[in-house]
Structure 1
Amino acid sequence: MPTTWDPAHVGDDLVALTRLLGEPHRDLAVLAEGNTSELLEDGRLVVKASGAGLASVTADDFVVVDVGEVMAVVEDPAATQADLTAVLVAAGTERSDGGGPRRGSIETVVHAAVHAVSPDSRATARFIGHTHPTDVVGLLASTVAEEAWAHLVYSDEAVVVGRPLFVPYATPGIDLGRVYVERLRAYVDAHGALPQLVLLANHGIVALAPTPDGVEAVSTMAVKGARVRATAYSVGGVAPLSDAAVEKFFARDDVAERRLNLTRGR
């Protein structure tokens, strides 16, 4: 099914989440950085249109894409960036101001891949927020980028974020989509579930949750995690939690319940 522009499919929750992530004091995104999405009941994906700023979006600033069509391009070795761009264009939406047609963000791939990889993504990742927080990108652009998040460093991070997925840098668009989906599949194979936080080297974060509140919680805790790590590195280095301690923590019923409540916004 081709990409369409249909504001009637854009829910109030998605618009509210998008504006929240774009609030200047949060420093998650500036200008037209970042994007959000919501998975519809029919399996299609509502995603922010290219060029729209998070803080001021309306229902007009989203398009509806077919996950299968997007991923067919990403996983076709012969496909190019131009092929991906063409799939994301909502036909018949040329604007009178000469701005061209509406099309999904070039980073639609980081949203579509989640739903291509996990059969239960609607229950665990109905909403996705991709942002570029300054504190996080600072570490992700450093020489310790992957090392910094190799282990959890404090208990609340374990509760809200869980085990993050690190994805090495690739040019945003089809190149990133190919690396991203490969890493996602490996993560799901290893852990039996999607990550709640994906860290994109030299780029930003992707927060996955069943609710808008969950996306906000994961995004906010990722920023705190970056600040904690930067502070620790500034005074000699990070002393992470041991893997054994984390596993024991995750196994507790009260922690599992708290994690579920936080990601669901309760």
Structure 2
Amino acid sequence: MTETAHARIDEIVELTRRAGDPARAYAILAEGNTSLRTAPGRMLVKATGSSMHTAARHSFVEVDLERYWEAIDEGPDDDDHVKALFEEARTWGHGKPSVESVLHAVCQRLDGVDAVVHTHPIAVNALLCSDRAELLTDGALFPDQIVVMGRHPLLVPYVDPGLPLARATARALDEHLDRHGERPRVIYLRNHGVFALAGTAEEALSITAMTVKSAEVLNGALAVGGPVFLSEEHAARIDTRPDERLRRALLAG
């Protein structure tokens, strides 16, 4: 384990337990996973089969991000190749990295991303498993949604988890960066769940909490008629107001 990983293991345990708190209902059983950047080319990530709620030090492994990035960029994507990747890339720990660790590696490749939380909240998945999933990215309903989640979350179609999903998301992120000039803070995966991308663990938790609130508000708006999104002018104003930028920084911890 790198020195930085040793220093951050307790941080990721706390992050994971908070995100997996049964009272939040973001994930149950062995659902969901988290990652934290350690050394420039390493990350800690939850091992497969472990519960977020009861996470402990042994629930995590450290992996070589460079090895992951090489596999994402080229080569086969079959199950045997992914299994070999997990064995070769693990630098510490005894568990097997989650299959979604490959998508964590895609997120950790982006500037400003240090912490990633992946969950399956019921309110969010109710929309992601419906024919109205696009509404999650069609606009913002209220100011705090913009402050915490940014103006442009990304929606990715359902793809088999592992290298296929990681590659599809990487392509979608390239298109998103070209279109908007900045990375998303939220990635929605159809029929799957949500990834919160952040600079700190606290910010990742705040983003996750706001995705749940936003989905609940959207579900409620649909129940009484339909959503009314903020205008582009008003959304842009919220995104750039000095006081809101300060509040965003404070929420990031």
Q: Shared fold by TM > 0.5? A: yes
In the alignment, which residue of structure 2 is the partner of 1:59?
A: 57
Residue type matched to 1:176 in 2? L
Residues 27 and 121, structure 2, Cα contact 8 Å, conserved in 1: yes
Residue type matched to 2:149 in 1? V
Mapped to 2, the partners of 1:49 and 1:78 lie a distance apart of 23
In the alignment, which residue of structure 1 is the partner of 2:212?
A: 223
> What is the percentage of aligned positions where both structures have the same residue?
36
Residues 199 and 205, structure 1, Cα contact 8 Å, conserved in 2: yes
Residues 41 and 66, structure 2, Cα contact 8 Å, conserved in 1: no
Secondary structure of 1:125 counterpart: coil
RMSD (Å) for aligned C-alpha atoms? 2.3
Residue type matched to 1:180 in 2? T
Deviations 1:79-133 (A, max 9, x none): 323212221137999x9xxxxx6211000122100233x2x3xxx3211100110
> How many matched pairs?
250
TM-score by length of 1: 0.87
- Cα distance, 1:77 vs. partner? 4.8
Deviations 1:170-197 (A, max 9, x none): 1111221111111112222333332111
Deviations 1:147-188 (A, max 9, x none): 333111111101111121111111111221111111112222
Mapped to 2, the partners of 1:171 and 1:105 lie a distance apart of 14
Residues 33 and 117, structure 2, Cα contact 8 Å, conserved in 1: yes
1:175 and 1:79, CA in 2 relative to 1: closer, same or farther beyond 3 A?
Answer: closer
In the alignment, which residue of structure 1 is the partner of 2:139?
A: 151
Residues 47 and 104, structure 1, Cα contact 8 Å, conserved in 2: yes
Residue type matched to 2:147 in 1? V
- Cα distance, 1:215 vs. partner? 1.0
Residues 8 and 38, structure 2, Cα contact 8 Å, conserved in 1: no
In the alignment, which residue of structure 2 is the partner of 1:38?
A: 36
In the alignment, which residue of structure 2 is the partner of 1:187?
A: 176
Mapped to 2, the partners of 1:52 and 1:199 lie a distance apart of 23
In the alignment, which residue of structure 2 is the partner of 1:76?
A: 74
Residues 129 and 208, structure 1, Cα contact 8 Å, conserved in 2: yes
- Cα distance, 1:146 vs. partner? 1.4
Residues 135 and 223, structure 1, Cα contact 8 Å, conserved in 2: yes
1:79 and 1:40, CA in 2 relative to 1: closer, same or farther beyond 3 A?
Answer: same
Deviations 1:225-265 (A, max 9, x none): 00000000011111111112111221211112211221x22
In the alignment, which residue of structure 1 is the partner of 2:24?
A: 26
Secondary structure of 2:23 counterpart: helix
2:97 to 104, 111, 115: 104
In the alignment, which residue of structure 2 is the partner of 1:207?
A: 196
TM-score by length of 2: 0.91
